[in-house]
């Protein structure tokens, strides 16, 4: 199990999982649907299975590319820690478990499960033909809040979609920053990315634009639902973390990419989600 957790970088679930919890509790606190531990557990399992499948498939598909890249040569498959067949088996098992878990939630989640799997798996192919691969990755993680909301309610709503778009723009923006490390390698191997297509300076500018859109999307729910002062703190912190990572990474110095990518964005998602949950608790108990 330890080697598989290493293969899928389980810690990276911290990016989308908090937004899945936002979608879940949004469904509980803004509709007549009651809180259900069983559904919450299934939502968390779906998140884990989908993330496992997506990350392991990316490692499987990119195993030859990773072996050529000095930054990734020590990843599990090129380093021989996990075989390609083991990784693919792990992907298939997690895909099956994901679909089974959705079947126990509600029919709509089950019907949508193949689409969700297609999106999160398709991302691994996109760097071979489009620089918009970062947006596809963002789209995959953006399914978390709306998917969790549907798990609770069995229906769509505009407010969880705002959080999905926030994730889409947020993840796309910080994935561009992360891809700065491979700008030269991507060009050499004819791989597609925003940094390889636009250069570091313009890539960072586009990342800023995407993060501005993300900030707008976490503000928009204020016009469609009631929130307390705690949610405003969450917005301020989230926006501060978006700003901070752009202060860390500059066109002339990308040495702090890892801090900007993992630490800053991890804090952004967790603290923002905590503020949302505290806000929901205060509002529901005040009422």
- Domains of the chain by residue range: 2-286
Output the DSSP codes for the chain. -HHHHHHHTGGGGGTTHHHHHHHHHHHHHSSSPPP-HHHHHHHHHHHHHHHHHHHHHHHHHTHHHHHH-TTTTTSTTTTTSS-HHHHHHHHHHHHHHHHHHHHTT-HHHHHHHHHHHHHHHHHHHHTTT-TTHHHHHHHHHHHHHHHHHHHHHSS--HHHHHHHHHHHHHHHHHHHHHHGGGHHHHHHTT---HHHHH-HHHHHHHHHHHHHHHHHHHHGGGGTS---HHHHHHHHHHHHHHHHHHHH-BTTB-TTHHIIIIIIHHHHHHHHHHHHHHHHHHHHHH-
2-286: CATH number: 1.10.357.140
Could you state, in chain order, the average pLDDT of each consecutive group of 10 residues for the chain (287 residues)?
63 82 95 94 95 93 95 90 92 97 97 96 96 96 96 95 98 96 94 96 97 98 93 97 94 88 89 96 74
pLDDT at 262: 79
pLDDT at 176: 97
pLDDT at 132: 96
- pTM (global) more than 0.85: yes
């Amino acid at each position: 199990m330890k080697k598989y957790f290493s293969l899928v970088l389980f810690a990276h679930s911290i990016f989308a999982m908090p937004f899945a919890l936002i979608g879940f509790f949004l469904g509980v606190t803004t509709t007549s649907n009651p809180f259900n531990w069983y559904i919450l557990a299934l939502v968390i399992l779906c998140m884990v299975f989908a993330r496992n499948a997506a990350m392991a498939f990316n490692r499987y598909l990119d195993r030859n590319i990773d072996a050529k890249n000095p930054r990734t040569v020590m990843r599990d498959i090129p380093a021989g820690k996990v075989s390609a067949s083991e990784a693919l088996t792990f992907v298939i098992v997690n895909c099956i478990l994901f679909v089974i878990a959705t079947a126990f939630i509600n029919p709509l989640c089950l019907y949508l499960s193949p689409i969700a799997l297609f999106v999160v798996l398709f991302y691994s192919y996109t760097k071979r033909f489009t620089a918009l691969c970062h947006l596809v990755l963002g789209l995959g993680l953006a399914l978390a809040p709306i998917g969790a909301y549907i798990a609770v309610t069995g229906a769509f709503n505009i407010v969880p979609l705002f959080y999905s778009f926030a994730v889409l723009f947020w993840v796309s923006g910080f994935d561009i920053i992360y891809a700065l490390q491979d700008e030269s390698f991507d060009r050499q191997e004819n791989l597609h990315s925003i940094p390889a297509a636009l250069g570091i300076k313009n890539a960072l500018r586009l990342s800023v634009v995407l993060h501005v859109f993300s900030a707008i999307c976490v503000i928009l729910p204020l016009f469609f639902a009631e929130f307390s002062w705690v949610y405003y703190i969450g917005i301020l912190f989230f926006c501060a973390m978006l700003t901070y990572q752009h202060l860390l990474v500059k066109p002339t110095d990308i040495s702090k990419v890892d801090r900007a990518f993992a630490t800053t964005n991890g804090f952004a998602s967790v603290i923002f989600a905590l503020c949302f949950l505290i806000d929901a608790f205060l509002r529901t108990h005040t009422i």
